[in-house]
Structure 1
Amino acid sequence: MTTENVGSRLRVALKWAGRVAAGVGMLLFVYIAAGLIGGTLPVNGDRRPPARGVLVFVESNGVHTGLIVPKVAAGVDWRDLALPEHLADPRYGAYPYLSFGWGERAFYLETATWADARPRAILAAAVGSGDTLVHVGHLPRPRPGDGARPVLLRPAEYRRLAAFIRASVADRPRRYPGYGPYDAFYQARGRYSARRTCNAWTGEALAHAGVRVGRWTPFPVTVMWWF
């Protein structure tokens, strides 16, 4: 093969690589733009907060959003699902609140923060997977400054929220160790995809309860700016 032929093939390869990179960049731009727009369009836009009710919280660690709920309230009791013996340190089971999040198994287990992100986990999450988990943490009641945003729900709204969360957990779920001594992962239902991310699940749960939130909330910011 002559030097001229090698150079020609290299130019063609670089040309196609540039086209692929441009196409991926355009898809990413469209996805981000669509997510930000979807996050600004409200559902339950006419809802008004009640004067009294069940206080829950919306939280974010910058990667995953989740919901913090009381273990017992408005006829809902989570103690049959999240048991102290499921924890690395069962003493944390005495805390009165639980945090719930949902996501793709590999990404969830390996990516507590963006600093933990690995290409394999990111690729698995981007491609989509039916292998999902619910992340459950045992917590004290959040305090101002903890980063959790309060949301007051009517008892019926809270029961709808709880039903949505409960339906996301598999029957007799397999358990996985959590990030620390106070949390655990449980096998879940549902398929994770670029359309239905862990943050979109949080938005769907709140919308199902009747809370004013974005129609599609694929990113943490699209959830948190409502609260």
Structure 2
Amino acid sequence: MRRVLRYMVMLLGTAVLAAALGTLVPRPLWPAASAEGEGTRHILVLKNPIHTDIAVPLDDGVRRRFAFLADTGLPIEAPGARYIVFGWGGRAFYLETPTWSQLKTMPVLKALTLDAAVMHVDVAGAILEPHPDVAVFDIDEEHFSALLDYIAVSFRQGEAGGPMAIENAGYSTFDRFYEANGHFNALVGCNTWTAAALRTAGLRTGWWNPLPVSLGWSLRLYD
């Protein structure tokens, strides 16, 4: 029993140390150079206790870039649409846990081990800022374009070349789920996807950010 307890304490200590180092050690080590002479583009990072999303303001260029989502019925042309919100996550947990009251054992187990990945895309109106759960960043045009490319290639393509929308999945009439590239687990999850996307956008994150709180801390430290 003492040996098991000792191992559990060591495991917990290792996890805490890894999370601390993952937050404090920046990635990349040096700030990315901004493109000179370019305007700034506004992006938001939205968080809840376990998940982060990236919100991109909708304009004609963004609508053209993600026209392949409009073709699946995502209402990016809706009159009140102001943002398109992207998140990457585990299929079972995303699809079977729309609210905390619907939490089930199997999706949690899959999230902790290995699960297929999906993209969740939502169309939102005005987003309140400043807000404790909303982080705001301005990036240059070059990095903004790179961010959109990173998001676009996260969608798994079907045989016809378009995104693979998941039938009868969604939380409202304004969101859709799609098959995504990659696999989800507790170490490489939704928040590490968000962190990688932000690094593509020229921001610095911690080396490993599995939780929204650690990602938020690292963004405040380095950006």
User: TM-score by structure 2 length?
Assistant: 0.79
CA contact (8 A) 1:54 1:73 kept: no
1:186: which partner in 2? 178
Q: 1:161 and 1:113 mapped to 2: Cα distance?
A: 29
1:138: which partner in 2? 123
What's the secondary structure of 1:77's corresponding residue?
helix
Q: 1:115 and 1:40 mapped to 2: Cα distance?
A: 34
Q: 2:89 and 2:54 mapped to 1: Cα distance?
A: 13
1:102: which partner in 2? 88
1:216 shift after superposition = 1.2
Could you give the per-residue CA deviations for residues 125-150 of structure 1, whole angstroms, max 9, x where no partner exists? 11112x11001010124222453211
| Aligned CA distance change for structure 1 residues 196 and 58 (closer, same or farther; 3 Å) | same
Q: Verify: 1:174 aligned to 2:174, yes or no.
A: no
What's the secondary structure of 1:81's corresponding residue?
helix
2:55: which partner in 1? 68
Summarize the alignment of residues 81-92 of structure 1 with structure 2, pairs less than 5 Å apart.
81-83=68-70, 86=73, 90=75
Q: 1:208 and 1:134 mapped to 2: Cα distance?
A: 18
2:103 paired residue among 117, 134, 152:
117
| Aligned CA distance change for structure 1 residues 141 and 186 (closer, same or farther; 3 Å) | same
1:213: which partner in 2? 205
Q: Verify: 1:77 aligned to 2:64, yes or no.
A: yes
User: TM-score by structure 1 length?
Assistant: 0.78
Q: 1:91 and 1:206 mapped to 2: Cα distance?
A: 22
For structure 2, the residue ranges without an aligned partner over 5 or more in a row are 158-162
CA contact (8 A) 2:165 2:178 kept: yes
> Structure 1 stretch 114-123 or stretch 103-112: which is displaced more?
114-123
Q: 1:157 and 1:72 mapped to 2: Cα distance?
A: 17
Question: What amino acid is the match of 2:59?
Answer: V
Identity among equivalent pairs (%):
29
1:61 shift after superposition = 1.7
1:63 shift after superposition = 1.6
1:53 paired residue among 40, 44, 49:
40
| Aligned CA distance change for structure 1 residues 218 and 159 (closer, same or farther; 3 Å) | same
For structure 1, the residue ranges without an aligned partner over 5 or more in a row are 1-14
